[in-house]
A and B are shown apart, each in its own frame.
Chain A
Amino acid sequence: MDNNRQGAKASIIALIVFIGLWILLPSAVRRLNKEAFAEFQAPAIQLLSKSRDLARYWELRSRSTEDLVAAGRDLARINATLELKLQAMEDIRKENLRLREMLRYPTSTDYLTVVARVATRDTSSWWQRMLIRKGRNDGIRPGCPVVFGNRVVGRVTTVHLNISEVELVTSPAFRCTAFLEGDDPPRIVHVSGVASNPFTTGRAKVSVIQPDYTPPAGQVAKVVTTGLGGVFPAGLILGTLDGGVTSTAQGNLKEAYMVPSKNLDTIEEVSVLVPKYPTAGEILMSPTDRIKLEEFK
């Protein structure tokens, strides 16, 4: 009995000592520890995700030949249509290049695209983030925008060797600038995720809407990126205004809720747009590059 009591006492003391040590440890050690833990669990996450892919593969293998023939036929039609669109796009691209050359218009910031499979996602009100199966080894850096087609999914917050964490547009930690469809001339609004109630779909808040803004009649106004902040390219769709015109007065301005453009619960694959050169914000956040701030000063 006494031994048990002494053992319990020792455990509590050990726990307190451990917590104390953890608090007193230098932040670099703690960061290393956190990183090591992330790297430790990364293979398990990847394995789980790949198993899901495999299960899906076997499920598709079990389909009948008729189903596959029909799907193949549909795919061929879609391919033919896309080929035509591709041709048209190529013409537009050339025209665009020609006009840019004529006007000596500077080309937009270059991005490298890294396609990544979604490993896990948690779109509940609690986390609002997803893990993707690409990391530092693939050139991904913190702060990179994550898109699906021309729609914004979120932004990379933490990068590990082979996985990265993505903060979704509905996360309270997410923010960017946007233009509203129908606002002429376009004026900057502020988009940030909001902590929503449990069991509800995540939404973002669009604030600093000018009082005289009215959404286009008969349609849901799109919220698109400005491309001015140096992080997101211009014209990507962030979402649509929830309820159209139901913006509420906030101070002397208006605000509205935004529904993300892509159903974040079902997304399987995303593209990470890695800017060719690090942004100032990236440098500011990266401890190794702080020296550049000193140089700047």
Chain B
Amino acid sequence: MKSFFNDTPHSTPSDPLSRVRINFLFVFFVAGFIYITTGLAYRQLVQASEIMIQSDNQIKRVVIRPPARGKIYDRHGYTIVDNRVRWSVKADLLSLQPEFRQEYLSLIRKAKADPTVPKINYDALNEQARLNVLNGWLDKIWFVIDANTDKPKKLKTVAKLPSNKEERTVNRLALRKHLTESRALKFTLITDLAFPGSENASDPDEANRTVARFIEQFPQGGPISLESDMVRSYPYSTMAAHVLGYVRDSTDLPPNVDDFTDLNFDNLQKLRYTGKRGAAGIEQTFDPILSGASGWELWTKTSSGYNKELLRSSEPRQGSSINLSLDINIQLAAEEALRQIKDSTGNPLPGAAVMLDVNTGEILAMASQPTFDPNRLVDRISNKYYDEIENQGGWLNRATQGQYAPGSTFKIITAIAGMRNHIIDWDDILECGTSFRVGNRDFPEHGGEAFGSVDVEKMLTISSNVWNYRVGLKLGPELLAKEARRFGLDAPLLRMPPSLTNPSTTELPYPTNRLVIPDPAYKMRIGAGPWNSGDTANMSIGQGYTLTTPLHMACLAASVARNETRTTPTIIHDPNRDGRHEGAVSIGLNKDQLEAIRIGMKRCVEVGTARSMQIEGLSIAAKTGTSEYFKNGEKAHLAWVIGYAPADNPAVAFAVLIEGQLDTSTWGGKTAGPVAKAMLEGWQVENDKD
């Protein structure tokens, strides 16, 4: 039998040409095999770990979860800034994919059937499909929340919750942003179920009822779920809002908890939940302490970018707590009293009130009016509320950031400077008429009254201007300014204690740095011309260019009470504080001189300009002041009172300032006195408890 192959002419293996070809092919295939094998071996053995990391990085992602912030307590341990549970309704977009697809196809069918549609925009339809599906679910959620089953004949919505339109329909832009930036996370349909769209926080009972209705009645197991996290809560609403500050959204989360040594975080894709950062007050300056450490979750992800499986996680760690020196009862008393000082239209006048512990410098109360409710700034600041605060000037902490002429409260400085520089002694008497001529101008006594023979004690009791003009002019501006600076009236306050490791340099943010103790050089510097005697006369009664804050004036009162020049105020409570004040030295008056000052301030309350703040059983030393300032180009009055109590054994010092309006009658004792009285009564109650 003949083989078919044997019949073909060029197929014999012994043919040299065929052998060459076969050998060539053999070499080619062997080389190719070696190349592929070597390549595979290289990939498998040499590059294995690198490729595995790359592969891991492609299929994994880290989700960073923010921690709960630390609490803030008052000096007695009452919680003044807390965290509350926020219940959010979220939609799992991955589970909703089939519904999106169905709706999308339905919309395409409708569009194709519609002859008025010239060209179908598939992307727009896709987005619309998602919106339709999510809005359908949102309707169901609100149906469960709103339906009042007590009145079954006709289902009615319960009009107790603020019906924020934004929370009742899905925001197209928010959805678009979510799909672009964080589609792996669930989409938030309702941010805060307990307080939906909370412009006006509904009452806690209604909030609880809303959450309970959803949990117990909404069908479960579907794509809609309820998630809970912690958000900032200010239980006393507006109380000490300027001190406490508020928080705002931030994706700049605090550092992670340190337990991921085997994870190469840097190369993994990261998604961050929105956390909170301090935006004002203590929340801002103590943010590193309050903010804690972020937790994380390691997820695998789907090809379309959704989270698939949770591999590992680490819980966030709550921030540390802070004890403030504030006393909530005194603080509430101060704020309530401030609210009672109203203008002719019945609106509270702007103002500030501060109370300090004389010995430690700890701030017991710091109020500023107008104010704001930090609860309403937690999720987002509505334009309306922002404008409301802005128009009222409510962002300003008038106690630390307001700059005011101290008025007659400055007369304490003039008197001390006069005695220390031997211009006058405690028992020297000056004749004071209805005015005092300086240059070619008569500087008037307040009220146009002639006080006759006036010594230091009487001057402080009746607040004589003429006495101060005369002493001030003899002293000159340099000595007056030197004395004011000695008491730190233009010194920065609330500097962060070095013991606290905190990047912020001050305990409260942005204290004013535009305080002015004027002198001739200052006047030249601002281009107001050379200094004249009238400037000195004005300065001696706390008018003119002098600018300081209520906190500085409270510190002055505390310093006089302790017979020292400086008081270091602080907002942080430390039971072991030693009571030493930075840069403080003795005032430098002899016993009689000091006594004259103290008795003068005491008499000011007993029979003088501060009679409105008398409290039975409590001796008070105070000095009132009424200075002028320009509001919209017209003169208005600032009402001041500073002092300390008890007069014989000082424990607390205070300062109150009220900004009068053009059409209001504002006087130190009459207007500011009642606020100081309310604070002292609050302190008395606390003191009696101790």
Contact = CB atoms under 8 A, between A and B. Distances in A.
B627 to A, nearest CB: 47
Given A210-B85, A281-B219, A188 B212 contact: yes
A285 B219 contact: yes
B144 A284 contact: yes
Interface string A199-230: 00000000110110000000000000010111
A232 B315 contact: no
Interface stretch (A26-34, A48-56, A94-102, A246-254): A246-254
Interface in B52-99: 65, 67-68, 83, 85
Contacts of A187: 85
Given A109-B150, A253-B85, A231 B216 contact: yes
A109 B217 CA distance: 15
A293 B215 contact: no
Contacts of A137: none
B212 A293 contact: no
A279 interface: yes
B143 interface: yes
A231 to B, nearest CB: 4
Contacts of A190: 215, 226, 228
Contacts of A188: 85, 208, 211-212
A244 B37 CA distance: 63
Contacts of B44: none
Contact of A277 (B146, B152, B316): B152
Given A251-B229, A253-B230, A278-B149, A228 B318 contact: no
A188 B152 CA distance: 26
B149 A208 contact: no
B205 to A, nearest CB: 8
Nearest to B210: A228
A175 B221 CA distance: 11
B218 interface: yes
Contacts of A285: 219
A173 interface: yes
A109 to B, nearest CB: 7
A250 B256 CA distance: 16
A208 B220 contact: no
B228 A228 contact: no
Contacts of B228: 190, 207-208, 251, 253
A145 to B, nearest CB: 9
A275 interface: yes
Contacts of A210: 85
A173 B220 contact: yes
Nearest to A231: B216
A284 B295 contact: no
B315 A280 contact: no
B364 to A, nearest CB: 25
Given A190-B228, A251-B295, A253-B230, A231 B217 contact: yes
A66 interface: no
Contacts of A249: 315
B219 A280 contact: no
B147 A283 contact: yes
Contacts of B428: none
Given A275-B149, A278-B152, A211 B318 contact: yes
Contacts, number: 117
A283 B208 CA distance: 22
A280 B68 contact: no
B139 interface: yes
A208 B157 CA distance: 28
Nearest to A280: B147
A176 B218 contact: no
A282 B318 CA distance: 40
Contacts of B146: 280, 296
A244 B218 CA distance: 30
Given A208-B228, A296-B147, A230 B217 contact: yes
A295 B143 CA distance: 10
B215 A279 contact: no
A281 B144 CA distance: 6
B140 interface: yes
A251 B297 CA distance: 11
A61 interface: no
A278 B153 CA distance: 11
B213 interface: yes
Nearest to A296: B143
Interface in B125-175: 139-140, 143-144, 146-147, 149-150, 152, 155, 157
A293 B68 contact: no
B221 A284 contact: no
Nearest to B71: A212
Contacts of A280: 143-144, 146-147, 149, 155, 213, 217
A249 B144 CA distance: 31
Interface string B202-214: 0001001101110
A252 B217 contact: no
Contact of A176 (B83, B216, B316): B216
Given A278-B149, A284-B144, A177 B211 contact: yes
Contacts of A173: 220-221
B215 A177 contact: yes
A175 B216 contact: yes
Interface of A: 106, 109, 143, 173, 175-177, 187-188, 190, 207-208, 210-211, 226, 228-232, 249-253, 275-285, 292-293, 295-297
16 contacts: A106-B150, A176-B215, A207-B228, A210-B85, A228-B205, A228-B209, A230-B213, A232-B216, A250-B315, A252-B83, A253-B85, A253-B228, A253-B230, A280-B155, A280-B217, A296-B147
Given A251-B316, A253-B230, A280-B217, 17 more contacts: A106-B150, A109-B150, A173-B220, A176-B216, A190-B215, A208-B85, A226-B208, A228-B213, A229-B215, A251-B65, A252-B67, A252-B316, A280-B144, A280-B213, A281-B217, A284-B143, A293-B140
Interface of B: 65, 67-68, 83, 85, 139-140, 143-144, 146-147, 149-150, 152, 155, 157, 205, 208-209, 211-213, 215-221, 226, 228-230, 295, 315-316, 318
